[in-house]
């Protein structure tokens, strides 16, 4: 019979081992603070003084899977030791805080932990509050308004590794109802004309061109996530 306590402790040990192997200087910090599983007895001894705000965007999350719902994602990220964890919408977005300053490390930690904590594996894309602010400040869709049921659908696509080659932007593929507008801070901004096309056409095109290690959010969602990060 599965022993939940042993299973959780195994996950904890896996995360500790991962941290040790990749950044040994963090090991004493993690072990002393018990950030992988905070306990009331230790929470009164804060070890971190500077936290950064992040959003984790998980590819391919659907609310039909109970393990992918907000409450489970929040629980999982809390078990990884992150603070002020809040799910956002149902598309696999998790707002959180950490003193770790390397988004790639945070992605690797989450991707290693999620299969053990809530039994699913997905690519995780972590961006900081400053990353999102740079995109919004650039105003890549100047003069356009995102409309779910209107004519324009504005999207931001995030990459694990930004593409080496892009066409000269803006670029509208021949015969397509979408346009690649700009590359801002490693994210690709696109517009779909809903009067003649659909968003899945854009998603299929991007996967064919750049692979599946990407995830896309509407510009409206990105802006709202930034607002939530700025509020906390």
Task: pLDDT band for 77, please (50, 70, 90 cuts).
Answer: very high
High-pLDDT (> 70) share of the chain, %: 77
* pLDDT at 31 exceeding the cut of 80: no
At 134, give phi and psi (nearest 5°): -60, -40
Three-state SS for 172?
A: coil
Average pLDDT over residues 79-98: 96
At 210, give phi and psi (nearest 5°): -125, 5
Give every CB contact of residue 16 below 8 A, 6+ residues apart in sequence: 27, 30, 31, 36
Which run of H or of E encompasses 154?
Answer: strand 152-159
* pLDDT at 92 exceeding the cut of 50: yes
Q: Which of 111, 232, 226, 211 is nearest to 157 (CA)?
A: 211
Radius of gyration, alpha carbons of the chain: 19
- Residue 9 has a pLDDT of 63
Degrees to nearest 5, angle at CA 218 with 62 and 162: 95
- Residue 14 has a pLDDT of 65
């Amino acid at each position: 019979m599965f022993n939940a306590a042993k299973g959780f402790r195994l996950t904890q040990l896996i995360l500790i081992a991962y941290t040790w192997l990749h950044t040994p200087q963090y090991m004493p910090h993690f072990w002393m603070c018990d950030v992988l599983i905070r306990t009331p007895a230790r929470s009164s001894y804060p070890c971190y003084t500077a936290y950064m705000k992040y959003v984790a965007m998980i590819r391919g999350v659907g609310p039909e899977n109970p393990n992918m719902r907000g409450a489970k994602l929040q629980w999982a990220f809390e078990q990884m030791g992150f603070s002020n964890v809040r799910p956002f919408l149902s598309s696999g977005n998790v707002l959180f805080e950490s003193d770790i300053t390397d988004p790639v490390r945070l992605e690797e930690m989450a991707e290693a932990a999620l299969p053990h904590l809530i039994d699913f594996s997905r690519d995780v894309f972590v961006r900081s509050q400053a990353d999102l602010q740079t995109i919004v400040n650039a105003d890549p869709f100047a003069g356009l308004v995102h409309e779910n049921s209107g004519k324009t659908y504005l999207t931001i696509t995030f990459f694990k590794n930004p593409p080496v080659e892009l066409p000269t932007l803006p670029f509208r593929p021949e015969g397509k109802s979408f346009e690649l507008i700009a590359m801002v801070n490693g994210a690709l901004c696109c517009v779909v004309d809903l009067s003649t096309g659909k968003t899945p056409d854009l998603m299929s095109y991007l996967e064919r061109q750049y692979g599946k290690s990407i995830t896309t959010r509407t510009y409206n969602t990105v802006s709202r996530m930034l607002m939530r990060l700025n509020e906390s």
